[in-house]
């Protein structure tokens, strides 16, 4: 059995930063207290650290106004989708009032209505002050259908949370519908039986990145298939995402089975966001298709991650039963390591 531990992005420990001081100063928490603390802290990032003009989630936020590349006003579409869900949790946990949340939802929706879009899709990064795209990379300066799917996932969750009996909330629901229903999912197939991640008005399809599983990109296929205006084809899921059946591959690590081949890291399953991002709005319990039982697959992916950190074959500082859950993260800047 894996001991209960903090599900945090430990990737920064690879840089050699020390966490000994932090460990000594941390209070002893029960599992319930730990989860409450993580939940409240997560909420605060999306609420307190939001870009003020747009209400959107910043790509990153550092103490003392230290921002790489002067990007303190750069917001992320996918992260905002996650933040929308966190705000709902904030209301339900009593961190903020429902009225405060409604006002923030209105601000974010108003910003998205004027932000750059590319056949309905938003870019990965947007300038929160101007609503204009900031390129994520030289040719990634247009629509990002994966980040858009994370945003739409959050918007649809907000829509379901809003009260159909309240006029102002009903209006927000209609505006969310307008945003979500104008994403041209099928256009991002580029005439093929697969979704393509990027399209640029300057560079077209030059990035040439077909989205194939298994990774964090199941959700654009799910939302794309359910689009009332621009649904993707069934063949896109089976031939593209599932790679004509090649997605199914049994791997056993630490006596634990993975049913699917994870792109880039088929043996250990890779970072946990591959199994988390798509299931923030899609319940994996009792979710099955011809390729996998997705609840069992997600649980096993996490268990393998925990076993890997306990084994710690590369001897990274800090990995173990109390620090595991490897996923996407930024490194701690050297000037903040001892803060």
pLDDT, tens digit (0-9, with 9 covering 90-100), for 224-282: 999 999 999 999 999 999 999 999 999 999 999 999 999 878 888 999 999 999 999 99
* Least-confidence region, from 14-23, 72-81, 148-157, 196-205: 14-23
**Does residue 113 register a pLDDT over 50?**
yes
Q: Which of 333, 303, 249 is nearest to 7 (CA)?
A: 303
3-state secondary structure of 121: strand
CA distance 155 to 44: 19
Q: What is the pLDDT of residue 60?
A: 80
User: Helices in 182-291 by DSSP H: which ranges?
Assistant: 218-225, 234-235, 273-276
Residue 305: its H or E element: helix 294-311
Q: What backbone torsions phi and psi does residue 166 show, to the nearest 5 degrees?
A: -110, 125
Assigned token pair, 7: 């599900």
Kindly tell me if the per-residue pLDDT of 3 is higher than 90. Answer: no
Structure-block tokens of residue 338: 């001892």
Model confidence at 68, pLDDT cuts 50, 70, 90, reads low
Q: What Cα–Cα distance (Å) separates residue 81 from each residue in 29, 94, 148, 156?
A: 30, 20, 9, 9
pLDDT cut 90: percent of the chain above it: 79
Residue listed under structure tokens 């059995």 = 1
Give the whole-angstrom CA distance, residue 59 versus residue 51: 10
Least Cα distance to 47 among 110, 7, 89, 109 occurs for 89
Q: Which domains does the chain have, with CATH numbers?
A: 1-19+247-339 (no CATH), 35-245 (1.50.10.140)
Beta strand pairing call for 323-324 and 6-7: parallel
Q: Are strands 133-134 and 143-144 parallel, antiparallel or unpaired?
A: unpaired
Asked if 225 and 232 count as a contact pair (C-beta separation under 8 A), the reply is yes
Q: Residue holding tokens 């560079």?
A: 203
Rounded to an integer, what distance in angstroms lies between the CA atom of residue 302 and that of residue 296?
Answer: 10
The pLDDT of residue 11: 31
pLDDT tens-digit series, residues 286-337:
999 999 999 999 999 999 999 999 999 999 988 999 889 999 887 666 665 6
Is the pLDDT confidence value at 79 over 80? yes
Q: Can you tell me whether residue 336 is helix, strand or coil?
A: helix
pLDDT at 65: 53
Q: Which two tokens stand for residue 116?
A: 């750059």
The pLDDT value recorded for residue 69 is: 62
Mean pLDDT, residues 90-117 taken together: 98
Please name every residue paired with 323 in a beta bridge, in sequence order, or none if there are none.
6, 320
| pLDDT value at residue 180 | 98
Position 203 pLDDT exceeds 60: yes
pLDDT, tens digit (0-9, with 9 covering 90-100), for 125-184: 999 999 999 999 999 999 999 999 999 999 999 999 999 999 999 999 999 999 999 999
Q: For residues 90-103, give the mean pLDDT.
A: 97
187: its two tokens:
């256009």
Percent of the chain surpassing pLDDT 70: 87
Our measurement of the distance from residue 224's CA atom to the centroid of its chain's CA atoms, rounded to an integer in Å, reads 17
DSSP β-bridge partners for residue 200: 204
């Amino acid at each position: 059995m894996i001991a209960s531990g903090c599900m945090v992005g430990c990737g920064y420990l690879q840089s050699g930063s020390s966490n000994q001081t932090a460990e000594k100063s941390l209070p002893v928490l029960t599992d319930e207290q730990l989860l409450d603390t993580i939940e409240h802290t997560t909420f605060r990032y999306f609420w307190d650290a939001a870009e003020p003009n747009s209400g959107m989630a910043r790509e990153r936020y550092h103490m003392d106004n230290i921002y790489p590349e002067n990007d303190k006003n750069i917001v992320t579409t996918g992260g905002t989708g996650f933040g929308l869900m966190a705000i709902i949790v904030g209301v339900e946990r009593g961190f903020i009032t429902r009225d405060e949340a409604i006002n923030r939802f209105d601000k974010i929706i108003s910003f998205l209505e004027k932000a750059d879009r590319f056949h309905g899709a938003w870019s990965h990064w947007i300038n929160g002050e101007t609503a204009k795209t900031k390129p994520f990379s030289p040719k990634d300066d247009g629509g990002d259908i994966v980040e858009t799917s994370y945003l739409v996932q959050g918007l649809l969750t907000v829509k379901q949370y809003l009260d159909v009996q309240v006029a102002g909330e009903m209006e927000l629901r209609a505006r969310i519908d307008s945003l979500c229903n104008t994403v041209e999912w099928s256009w991002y197939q580029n005439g093929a039986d697969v979704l393509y991640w990027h399209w640029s008005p300057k560079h077209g399809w030059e990035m040439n990145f077909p989205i194939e599983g298994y990774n964090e990109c199941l959700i654009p296929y799910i939302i794309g298939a359910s689009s009332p205006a621009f649904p993707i084809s069934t063949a896109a899921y089976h031939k593209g995402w599932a790679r004509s059946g090649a997605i199914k591959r049994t791997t056993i690590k630490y006596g634990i089975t993975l049913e699917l081949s994870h792109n880039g890291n088929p043996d250990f399953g890779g970072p946990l966001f591959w199994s988390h991002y798509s299931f923030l709005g899609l319940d994996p319990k009792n979710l099955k298709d011809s390729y996998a039982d997705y609840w069992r697959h997600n649980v096993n992916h996490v268990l393998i991650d925990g076993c890997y950190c306990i084994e710690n074959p590369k001897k990274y500082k800090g990995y173990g039963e109390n620090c595991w859950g490897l996923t996407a993260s930024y490194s701690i800047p050297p000037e903040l390591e001892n803060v």
